[in-house]
Amino acid sequence: MKRIFTGLQPSGALHIGNYVGALKPFIDLSAEYDSMLMVADYHAITTLKNPTELRQNIIDIARDYVAAGIDPQKAVIFRQSDVPEHTELGWVFQCLVTVPFLQQAHAYKDKVAKGLEPNAGLFAYPMLMAADILLYDTDIVPVGADQRQHVEYAREAAAKFNNAYGETFKEPQERIIEATATVPGTDGKKMSKSYGNTIPLFGTREEIAEAVMSIVTDSSGERPENVYAIHRVVRNEGELQSLYESYKGKYKSLKEALIEDIDAFVSPMREKRDSISDDNVRAFLKDGAERARERASAKMRDVRAKMGLTI
């Protein structure tokens, strides 16, 4: 069975872009693939320094995975920091790639341009992500468009290692669904936790309403494009054509319709989410960590032996 792998950072509440860009494609494939879904907590500490918040976010995001429809009995759901082989292999890859190569990473450049501290972890981030993917001989990585280059970097890390030490890692492929590759936020730019333009996946109705009402509309066109661009993620385009035709120019009504549609889209997941306790989350993460670690440690034994790190 081929394997899919993806991860999300517990750096804040999940938003609709995370769901339709990564989680939904992962869920759609998970029936036919051996599936692994990671909480990328070591990635999150490149930016999040508050321990209380991090702890809560880890529990919340793992709960969200299950609420969104991932079965922890089937998929391996685990936390990156529970499997030390990730940081170990990340180090190995850092020793194989050059500084100029990492300097070309768009995500790093964007984050620094936004004023984030360019700590060394943020810089080396793509090699930790390469380790996440390559440790498990992943075939497919479902992600949004902003992660395309990171998966290319993982292929590059695999090729570099294989050239230096012999065939060890499989080169993975990203899976990006065109229609939801970059979901726009309330300001029309990419929806992103760090831009403050998100619609939270598990927000209350009031939070969703507040976010939708803040969508920037441009009165010059026939159709409020920023509203429509988010709407098409939660409702089919055929229905939207007639809705937007009949409410032409009535931006407030269209936003109200969007609130209804997001609410209808999220409410079954919200109910499921309420039924998952913190202890349930701890239990399936523990089980996931054991299953992931078994695979990761076997792979690292091979890596160490090939590199001359066994005597």
> Which residues of the shown chain bind ligand TYM in the complex (CB under 6 A)?
5-9, 17-18, 21-22, 40, 43, 129, 132-133, 141, 143-144, 146-147, 150, 180, 182-183, 190-192
| Closer residue to ligand TYM in complex, CB, 58/183 | 183
Secondary structure percentages of the chain, helix, strand, coil, to 5: 60, 10, 30
The question of whether 250 is a catalytic residue gets the answer no
Q: Which is nearer to ligand TYM, 48 or 256 (CB)?
A: 48
Among 24, 49, 109, 111, which one carries the catalytic annotation?
111
Closest contact distance (angstroms) between CB of 101 and ligand TYM is 17
* C-alpha–C-alpha distance, residues 261 and 231, integer Å: 8
Alpha-carbon gap, residue 206 to 78, rounded angstroms: 32
111 is catalytic: yes
What residue number has its CB nearest to ligand TYM? 21
- Catalytic status, residue 190: yes
Cα separation, 118 vs 97, whole angstroms: 18
Helices of type H across 68-147: 85-94, 99-103, 106-113, 120-134
What is the four-CA torsion angle of 178, 30, 32, 191, rounded to 10 degrees? 0
Nearer to ligand TYM (CB atom), residue 145 or residue 247: 145
The Cα 128–Cα 107 span in angstroms is 14
Q: How far is the CB of 195 from ligand TYM (least distance, A)?
A: 9
Nearer to ligand TYM, 189 or 286 (CB): 189
Q: Which is catalytic among the residues 49, 74, 170, 193?
A: 193
Integer distance in angstroms from the first to the last C-alpha of the chain? 34
Q: At 51, which amino acid appears? A: P
Q: Which of 160, 190, 255, 299 is catalytic?
A: 190
In the complex, what is the shortest distance from the CB of residue 242 to ligand TYM, in angstroms, rounded to a whole number?
26
Min CB(310)–ligand TYM separation in Å = 27
The residues that are catalytic are 111, 190, 193
